[in-house]
Amino acid sequence: MIGAYGEYVDSLLGEGPAALSYRQPRFTEITAWRAEAKAKALELIAQPTAGETPAPEVMDETVVEGVAVESLRWRLPYGPPAEALFLKPEGAKGPLPGLLALHDHGGRKYFGYRKIADDGRPVHPMMREHRDDHYQGRAWANEAAKRGYAVLCHDTFPFASRRVRVGDVLEEVKWGAKDVGPEESLEEVVGYHEWAGKHENIMAKSLFCAGTTWPGIYLSEDQRALDVLCARPEVDANRVGCGGLSGGGMRTTFLGGLDDRIRCAVCVGMMTTWRDAMLYKGWTHTWMVYVPLLPRYLDYPEILGLRLPAPTMVLNDIEDGLFTLSEMRRADDILRGVYDKAGASDRYVCNFHPGPHKFDDKMQAEAFDWFDKWLK
């Protein structure tokens, strides 16, 4: 991507394991390694506080195809209220295994949990198309609830209820865009997505100037959502997992790697290496993935690997245009290597599926089976 300078920056990254990789020969004991590596990762992520466990407000309750659905809202110390859906099998009282269903990015910041969860309202045409393209038409959070899980699916920064409103920003960066009206017309939504995509570099610069990172913000918000899920009386807080596609896989990498409450994690369509982003595919990705200086200490898959030896699944698509296949395979080699070194090879699975960037019904079934194995 950067021409003659590519060879130089590649040399800066080096060929061997990063400084705090569990693949380094000096690390032989998991607990001590995790403490050191996790502390450095959290230092560089520079996670700000998102306050105490939110107090959710129930906005509505309904039943959708045998799934009891609560529409929730809660406040964080900054920004507009977060909205979410809590789903469980109708009539279930628990204790149920819990799942935090993490929505994707998809270049569509006007939508959040609506990408993967249904509350019975008509599905927006853009979301119907989005699900057809990426989830084989399914709201996978609802499908997980049908399998016996208590599922929380929330909007995270800066999507949907947590999005940046055009009307709130300086005139110089509105670029002629307008906020989406209550009718959510396709023209308005498309215009917002175009504006939000261009606005990402401004958001990243602002967060860096504030001494934090984008992963620092959404990790905090995902952890507060995890607080909400674990506090539910229907949920067994000792049997909680998380997963998601693309941006949801990225969030799984950080939350699953850095919060020990996640007992089982499934990362879909978001597993490669820093070298892939550095030399080949950075132009395809959001600013939301980057943590300055962290590649010196951990390669990208090793962030998820911080959960070692907890159960971890990675699902990739062979024709995924967001990554190079060779680097996806190298990421698998890295994670497989650390799990093998820890004597936990049975707790790591990575599979490659034919086709483009997606989380189709076959992959969903594979993910649900993995959750069943470790959380039921």
User: Could you give phi then psi for residue 36, rounded to 5 degrees?
Assistant: -70, -45
pLDDT category at 15 given cuts 50, 70, 90 is confident
- Count H helices and E strands in the chain, helices first: 11, 9
Q: Is residue 34 part of a domain?
A: no
What proportion of the chain, given as a percentage, has pLDDT over 70?
100
The secondary structure of 17-43 as a DSSP string is: --TT-TTSTT---HHHHHHHHHHHHHH
Whether the upstream peptide bond of residue 48 has omega within 30° of 0, thus cis, is no
Q: Is residue 131 part of a domain?
A: yes
Whether the upstream peptide bond of residue 158 has omega within 30° of 0, thus cis, is yes
In the chain, the amino acid numbered 250 is: M
95 pLDDT above the threshold of 90:
yes
Beta-carbon contacts of 211 under 8 Å, excluding residues fewer than 6 positions away, are 46
CB burial of 208-233 (b: ≥16 within 10 Å; e: otherwise) equals: eeeebbbbbbbbbbbbbbbbbbbebe
* pLDDT for res 50: 72
* pLDDT for res 49: 80
* pLDDT for res 266: 98
Task: Quick: pLDDT tens for 98-152.
Answer: 999 999 999 999 999 999 999 999 999 999 999 999 999 999 999 999 999 999 9
Distance between first and last Cα of the chain: 45
Q: Is residue 205 part of a domain?
A: yes
C-alpha span between 273 and 324 (Å, rounded): 10
348 pLDDT above the threshold of 90:
yes
350 pLDDT above the threshold of 80:
yes
Q: Is residue 106 part of a domain?
A: yes
CATH code of residue 130: 3.40.50.1820
C-alpha span between 115 and 60 (Å, rounded): 19
* SS3 state of residue 149: coil
148: exposed, middle or buried (C-beta count within 10 Å: 0-12, 13-18, 19+)? middle
Structure tokens at 154: 């929330």
C-alpha span between 115 and 104 (Å, rounded): 8
- Split into its structural domains, the chain has a count of 1
Question: How far lies 340's CA from each of 15, 45, 218, 293, in Å?
Answer: 21, 27, 31, 27
Question: Which range of residues forms the domain containing residue 278?
Answer: 57-375
* pLDDT for res 356: 97
Find the helix or strand (DSSP H, E) in which 136 lies: none
Task: Quick: pLDDT tens for 43-62.
Answer: 999 998 878 889 999 999 99
Q: Is residue 46 part of a domain?
A: no
Task: Quick: pLDDT tens for 163-213.
Answer: 999 999 999 999 999 999 999 999 999 999 999 999 999 999 999 999 999
Task: Quick: pLDDT tens for 252-311.
Answer: 999 999 999 999 999 999 999 999 999 999 999 999 999 999 999 999 999 999 999 999
Average pLDDT, the chain: 96
**Is residue 279 a contact partner of residue 314, using CB atoms and an 8 Å limit?**
no
* pLDDT for res 182: 93
